[in-house]
Amino acid sequence: MNIDRNWWKNKIAYQVYPRSFCDANGDGTGDIKGITSKLDYLQSLGVGLLWLSPVYRSPMDDGGYDISDYRDIDPIFGNMDDMDELIREADKRGIKILMDLVINHCSDEHEWFKKALADPNSEEAGYFWFVNSKDGAPNNWRSMFGGSAWENVGGDRYYMHLFSKKQPDLNWENPVLREKLYDMVNFWLEKGLGGFRIDAIVHIKKMEGLPSGPADNPDGMVGCFAYARNIDGIGDYLTELRKRTFDNYQCVTVAEAAGVPNEQLVDYIGKDGYFSTMFDFSYSEPYNYGHGWHTCKGPGEWSFRRWRDTLYASQLDTQKIGYGAVFLENHDYPRAIQKFIPEKDHCPRVQMMLGNMFFFLRGIPFIYQGQELGMTNPGFTSIDVIDDISTKNHYSLAINDGLEPEKAMKLVARYSRDNARVPFPWDDSENGGFSASGVKTWLPVHPDYKTVNAAAEMSDPNSVLAFYKEMVRIRTKSEYAEVIQDGVFAPILKQYDKLIAYTRTLVGKKRLAVICSFSDKKRKIKLPFDAGALVLSSHDEYSIEDGVLTLLPYQSVMLEI
């Protein structure tokens, strides 16, 4: 078979969080039929790749990232016929589906784990990290959701979980397990998927001997990154995975690969890299949380310049090697505007500027559901409505450390992953058209759904949605499509603070400049080039005189050079 390895590069990708996209059967939770019913909306937005957060069978301890059957669909989402229908219907609209591949861990309710637990001598016991230890946990690693990374199962027997205790880590050193995983991956690829977004994949190799480390906090534990993230030797597994599965299909693989140093990008997404592309998280997070949100240093401390320099470095290093995947939001973060812009300045124009900033970087852009509407955090006021396991853990950590509930709740409202997981607002009817009226939705609907919703924005030429559609058109269908896809990235105007500005150049062809102001003041910028046509602006007003560009607060422009 002749496989085109680059078919995905000119596409726009969109991430759906299935529980919150559209509820077709009226049980308060989104489902696959709901997604299928909204394919026309996605097609009208210009989406070509659709990443679904997990829909496999799962007890939903971590929103489906805890899988109890890799070959089945969870009943809350529907069944395999619904999935096959979605793949078919999406194909008809030129949209390829990406499933979420979660193979660092599974659920403690997976039959493999049940057998492993019941019989330490079973084949399945070897699929996990069971360790016998007489003096408490086998080491002092801290799980990513807080607390020890080890769970005792009676006597001196423990198993490792880098995430929640209901997500036991799979032991990739076991060849039988690896075979089972490859079989499963091929089972899905045979269905004609576009490929996978690959979850937490940098954690599959653990440091030889599972050593303890020097405590980094009063809890006596150490963050597990140094011992279980991108550890030497991981490449053997990733190469084998690729050869046994992805290589044999025309699919795209998008790795969630946090913490890979830029020098190692070549191994990950170079010509013979493990994956087609990957998300770089180096610039996604301006905060330093410490060991819990209540010890977070920031945003007071976060430096715009440091954030910007990290973004530039990521772009510059990635373009030497391959093609990145760029994003502003996903299901693991609060809404971007909350991270980067002071509350007093939040408005649709600022959402457009942020969109403009990221959308024309080099790499395939991923839009997270609701981002195209300019959704904000919903302003949670009660911990009782929260579903997310990591939020609950951070909240209890704060309370246990003596923080008043009201203050702890403010942290939840600011940092919780559930901020981005509330139901998608389709219209201004009850429940935002996400669920039928009268139904209690699994997370509360956003309080702004009457004004910020897809229907309202579809009929408003000045909406954030209209702006996103225009960006998609420019990126995929305009005379600038080629330079935006392949042009070289170069930062400009670095002497200005609170400014992200870059050019994209295809020598002998087109050249574009993107200039985005993060200042709340009107300002003048001396351009280092002769400006040509205005391609896009977040605001209606626009002026260049004698080579000086005047920008309104938080304005972005894209200019031809």
- CA distances (Å), origin 525, targets 210, 264, 538, 550: 54, 36, 16, 6
Residue 241 or 552: the one with the smaller Cβ distance to ligand GLC is: 241
Instruction: Please give the backbone phi and psi of residue 97, each rounded to the nearest 5 degrees, phi first.
Output: -90, 135
Residue 54 or 322: the one with the smaller Cβ distance to ligand GLC is: 54
Of the candidate residues 129, 150, 163, 283, the single one contacting ligand GLC (CB under 6 A): 163
Tell me: does residue 415 bind ligand GLC (CB under 6 A).
no
Of the candidate residues 23, 31, 61, 62, the single one contacting ligand GLC (CB under 6 A): 62
Q: 100 and 106 in contact (C-beta within 8 Å)?
A: no
Q: 90 and 48 in contact (C-beta within 8 Å)?
A: no
Q: Is 422 helix (H, G, I), strand (E, B) or coil?
A: coil
Measure the CA–CA gap between 73 and 75, rounded to whole angstroms: 6
Restricting to residues 227-256, name those near ligand GLC by CB under 6 A. Answer: 256
Residue 65 or 554: the one with the smaller Cβ distance to ligand GLC is: 65
Spell out the alpha helix ranges (H) of 276-404.
304-321, 336-340, 348-359, 389-400
Spell out the alpha helix ranges (H) of 39-174.
39-45, 80-92, 111-118
To the nearest whole angstrom, how small is the minimum distance from the Cβ of residue 166 to ligand GLC? 11
The two counts, helices (H) then strands (E), for the chain are 16, 23
- Per-residue binder mask for ligand GLC (CB under 6 A), 89-118, x = binder: -------------x----------------
Restricting to residues 252-281, name those near ligand GLC by CB under 6 A. Answer: 256
Instruction: Please give the backbone phi and psi of residue 524, each rounded to the nearest 5 degrees, phi first.
Output: -115, 135
Q: What is the 3-state secondary structure (H, E, C) of 299-322?
A: CCCCCHHHHHHHHHHHHHHHHHHC
Residue 130 or 279: the one with the smaller Cβ distance to ligand GLC is: 279
- Per-residue binder mask for ligand GLC (CB under 6 A), 332-351, x = binder: x-------------------
Q: 177 and 171 in contact (C-beta within 8 Å)?
A: yes
Residue 166 or 469: the one with the smaller Cβ distance to ligand GLC is: 166
Give Cα 336 distance to the centre of its chain: 12
To the nearest whole angstrom, how small is the minimum distance from the Cβ of residue 65 to ligand GLC? 3
Measure the CA–CA gap between 109 and 57, rounded to whole angstroms: 10
Shortest CA distance to 63 belongs to which of 368, 417, 444? 417
Measure the CA–CA gap between 191 and 197, rounded to whole angstroms: 16
- Per-residue binder mask for ligand GLC (CB under 6 A), 370-409, x = binder: ----------------------------------------
Of the candidate residues 8, 21, 65, 554, the single one contacting ligand GLC (CB under 6 A): 65
β-bridge mates for residue 516, sequence order: 500, 556
Residue 65 or 502: the one with the smaller Cβ distance to ligand GLC is: 65
To the nearest whole angstrom, how small is the minimum distance from the Cβ of residue 332 to ligand GLC? 5
Residue 89 annotated as catalytic: no
Residue 285 or 427: the one with the smaller Cβ distance to ligand GLC is: 285
Candidates 23, 100, 124, 256; catalytic one: 256
Of the candidate residues 199, 267, 280, 329, the single one contacting ligand GLC (CB under 6 A): 199
- CA distances (Å), origin 540, targets 202, 462, 551, 552, 557: 44, 10, 11, 10, 10
Q: 519 and 475 in contact (C-beta within 8 Å)?
A: no
Tell me: does residue 35 bind ligand GLC (CB under 6 A).
no
Find tokens 């279980």 and name the residue: 228
To the nearest whole angstrom, how small is the minimum distance from the Cβ of residue 384 to ligand GLC? 21
Candidates 199, 332, 372, 418; catalytic one: 199
CA terminus-to-terminus distance, the chain: 42
Measure the CA–CA gap between 269 and 103, rounded to whole angstroms: 19
* Residues contacting ligand GLC: total by CB under 6 A: 9
Tell me: does residue 23 bind ligand GLC (CB under 6 A).
no
Measure the CA–CA gap between 175 and 317, rounded to whole angstroms: 34
Q: What is the 3-state secondary structure (H, E, C) of 158-193?
A: EEECCCCCCCCEECCCCHHHHHHHHHHHHHHHCCCC
Residue 162 or 350: the one with the smaller Cβ distance to ligand GLC is: 162
Residue 24 or 144: the one with the smaller Cβ distance to ligand GLC is: 144
To the nearest whole angstrom, how small is the minimum distance from the Cβ of residue 393 to ligand GLC? 11
Residue 199 annotated as catalytic: yes
Measure the CA–CA gap between 77 and 54, rounded to whole angstroms: 10
To the nearest whole angstrom, how small is the minimum distance from the Cβ of residue 167 to ligand GLC? 6
To the nearest whole angstrom, how small is the minimum distance from the Cβ of residue 54 to ligand GLC? 9
Residue 65 or 129: the one with the smaller Cβ distance to ligand GLC is: 65
Q: In this chain, which residue has its C-beta nearest to ligand GLC?
A: 65
Q: Is 259 helix (H, G, I), strand (E, B) or coil?
A: coil
Tell me: does residue 200 bind ligand GLC (CB under 6 A).
yes
Residues with a catalytic annotation lie at 199, 256
Residues that bind ligand GLC (CB under 6 A): 62, 65, 102, 163, 199-200, 256, 331-332
